[in-house]
Each structure stands twice: as structure tokens, then as C-alpha cells.
């Protein structure tokens, strides 16, 4: 079965600082990878996704993530954070359609707090 | 994308009662899921709702506590039975269309508080 680990539970940064949130997964086969964001009081939104191709994927709001297969990692980055990026960030993994593991499994989440 | 609606959006229930949550999608989808998000926690998959057959439950979740129906390709219900305060959570419906599109979409959630 697949699993996802997010080692940073709570990250506190000042505005304009650079961000990197770690995500590692365990699954032996081909995977699809996602980052979701949940702003305070709002529902889950997709930030970006990796299915195949270029391992560096760009998402909304200036976020990007890099898939490193050899490290089973999919870290989220943003060069300069804003106060409005304060939210909970979830890394997720699933297997492609047709696989018995084709259901999204979430990491424990990382709470990001940005100081104005 | 898929537009997902859930009813109710929130409810407050007494211990021992049950709550049924409805999930409606604006288009036919192959897979529907139910997740739980307990306060301050991540999302945990409860079960996959299978059209025309019994749902597939994840470890730690059972049909007696979380009966699920899926009568067609656009609708599903989740019932949380014999409520206790520990069931206070947000319950989310999620859907996937299937190959080649493997993106999964999430509903707005139902916030349940059990007194």
C-alpha cells in the first residue's frame, strides 16, 4: 500500500522568505503526485499535480514542485511567500487508473504560517 | 473539472443518532470516495463507493458504522451511525472520472458536530 510522509508539521516564515515543504512517498509502482492547499475556513484546492513528463511542475500562485524518483520525493517550493499563503498544505499520492491503489492517500499536512 | 455538492453543509447531532450526507456530482464519474478530516488532522479515506455494489472500506472503518449507498454514477450517500463526540469531523465526498484523467476532485465537505 502507498503512504505519504510530511515531516514538517508547522512552518513559520516571514513574508518574502523562500519556502520548501518536504514530501516523501512509498509505493513501488508508477505514481501520480499532488499538492493540495486548504486555506483557513475553506475547502481543499489543488495546487499542482504530477502525472508524467517534466519532473518540475508548476502550479497556481507561484508554487512549484519537483518529482525526484530516486528519492521518492515531491517537495513543494515557492521562492517568495506572501501572508496570503498561510494555510494547511497536503501532499498526496495515488496510482494510475486501473490499479488497485488508484485512490488518493494524503500526508499528515504541514501548517504554514506567514508573519506579515 | 467536476462540480460536487454536499448536503448538509453542517449539522449538530445528538449522541446515538445518525446523520446521512448526500453527495451530488454534475457529471458521471467512475469513482466516488468518502473521506474524514478530524479537527486539526489530515484527510483519511473511509471507503470507495461502488456503483451497484457494496462499498470498499479502508482499515478501521466498517459498514455498520458508515453505510454507503451509490445508486448511480452521479450520487452517493454516507451515513454516520450511532454518533458519538469522536465522530465530530468534516466529511468530504471526492470523485474521479477515470483513465486517462486521474485527477481527483473534492466536495466542500460536511461539518458534523456531535454533542
CA Rg value for chain A = 14
Question: What's the pLDDT at A99?
Answer: 60
Q: Cell 508524467 appears where? A: A52
CA gap A14, B47 in Å, rounded: 40
Question: What's the pLDDT at B89?
Answer: 96
Q: For residue A95, what is the DSSP state? A: P
Residue numbers of the domain that contains A44: 3-115
Nearest CA in chain A to B30: A97
Over residues B69-97, mean pLDDT: 94
A96 with B99: Cβ contact below 8 A: yes
**Are the C-beta atoms of A48 and A33 separated by less than 8 Å?**
no
A77 touches chain B (CB under 8 A): no
Question: What's the pLDDT at B31?
Answer: 85
Report the gap between the CA of A70 and the closest CA in chain B (Å).
Answer: 23
Mean pLDDT over the full length of chain A: 90
* pLDDT value at A97 more than 80: no
* pLDDT value at A87 more than 90: yes
Name which of A92-96, B20-24, B68-72 the model is least confident about: A92-96
* pLDDT value at A96 more than 80: no
> Which residues 12-31 of B are in CB contact (within 8 Å) with A?
31
Residues 6+ apart with CB under 8 A from A58: A48, A64
B45 with A104: Cβ contact below 8 A: yes
Question: What's the pLDDT at A73?
Answer: 96
How do residues A66-82 score in pLDDT, each as one tens digit? 999 999 999 999 999 99
How many domains is chain A built from?
1
Concatenate the DSSP letters of all residues of A49-83 into one string: EE-SS-SEEE-GGG-EEEEEGGGTEEEEEESS--G
Over residues A50-69, mean pLDDT: 94
Residues 6+ apart with CB under 8 A from A42: none
Rounded to the nearest 10°, the torsion over CA A69, A74, A79, A80 is 180
CA gap A97, A89 in Å, rounded: 24
Nearest to B18 by CA among B81, B63, B91, B76: B81
| Domains parsed from chain B with CATH numbers | 18-97 (2.60.40.10)
Question: What's the pLDDT at B94?
Answer: 93
Name which of A30-44, B53-67, B98-112 the model is least confident about: B98-112
**Are the C-beta atoms of B10 and B112 separated by less than 8 Å?**
yes
Higher pLDDT, B98 or A108: A108
Report the gap between the CA of A56 and the closest CA in chain B (Å).
Answer: 18
Task: Report chain A's terminal Cα–Cα distance, integer Å.
Answer: 41
Question: What's the pLDDT at B99?
Answer: 64
CA gap B9, A47 in Å, rounded: 24
Nearest CA in chain B to A96: B102
Nearest Cβ partner of A96 from B33, B42, B102?
A: B102
Nearest CA in chain B to A6: B42
Nearest Cβ partner of A90 from B42, B100, B103?
A: B42
Question: What's the pLDDT at B74?
Answer: 94
Query: For residue A18, what is the domain's CATH number?
Result: 2.60.40.10
B48 with A103: Cβ contact below 8 A: yes
Mean pLDDT over the full length of chain B: 91
Residues 6+ apart with CB under 8 A from A109: A6, A9, A88, A89, A90, B41, B42
B42 with A51: Cβ contact below 8 A: no
**Are the C-beta atoms of B38 and A109 separated by less than 8 Å?**
no
**Are the C-beta atoms of B9 and B19 separated by less than 8 Å?**
no
* pLDDT value at A100 more than 60: no
Beta-carbon pairs below 8 A across chains A and B: 46
Residues 6+ apart with CB under 8 A from A100: none
Amino acid at each position: 500500500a502507498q503512504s505519504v510522509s510530511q515531516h514538517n508539521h508547522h512552518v513559520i516564515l516571514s513574508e518574502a522568505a523562500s519556502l520548501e515543504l518536504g514530501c516523501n512517498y512509498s509505493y513501488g509502482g508508477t505514481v501520480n503526485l499532488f499538492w493540495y492547499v486548504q486555506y483557513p475556513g475553506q475547502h481543499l484546492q489543488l495546487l499542482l499535480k504530477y502525472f508524467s513528463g517534466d519532473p518540475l511542475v508548476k502550479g497556481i500562485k507561484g508554487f512549484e514542485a519537483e518529482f525526484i524518483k530516486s528519492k521518492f520525493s515531491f517537495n513543494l517550493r515557492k521562492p517568495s511567500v506572501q501572508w496570503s499563503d498561510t494555510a494547511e498544505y497536503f501532499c498526496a499520492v495515488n496510482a494510475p487508473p486501473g490499479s488497485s491503489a488508484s485512490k488518493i492517500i494524503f500526508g499528515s499536512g504541514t501548517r504554514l504560517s506567514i508573519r506579515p | 473539472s467536476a462540480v460536487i455538492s454536499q448536503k448538509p453543509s453542517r449539522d449538530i447531532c445528538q449522541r446515538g443518532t445518525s446523520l446521512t450526507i448526500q453527495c451530488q456530482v454534475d457529471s458521471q464519474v467512475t469513482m466516488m470516495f468518502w473521506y474524514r478530516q478530524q479537527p486539526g488532522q489530515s484527510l483519511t479515506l473511509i471507503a470507495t463507493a461502488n456503483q451497484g455494489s457494496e462499498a470498499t472500506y479502508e482499515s478501521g472503518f466498517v459498514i455498520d458504522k458508515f453505510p454507503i449507498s451509490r445508486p448511480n454514477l452521479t450520487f452517493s450517500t454516507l451515513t454516520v451511525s450511532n454518533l458519538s463526540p469522536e465522530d465530530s469531523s468534516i466529511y468530504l465526498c471526492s470523485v474521479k472520472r477515470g483513465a486517462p484523467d486521474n485527477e481527483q476532485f473534492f466536495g466542500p465537505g460536511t461539518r458534523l458536530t456531535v454533542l
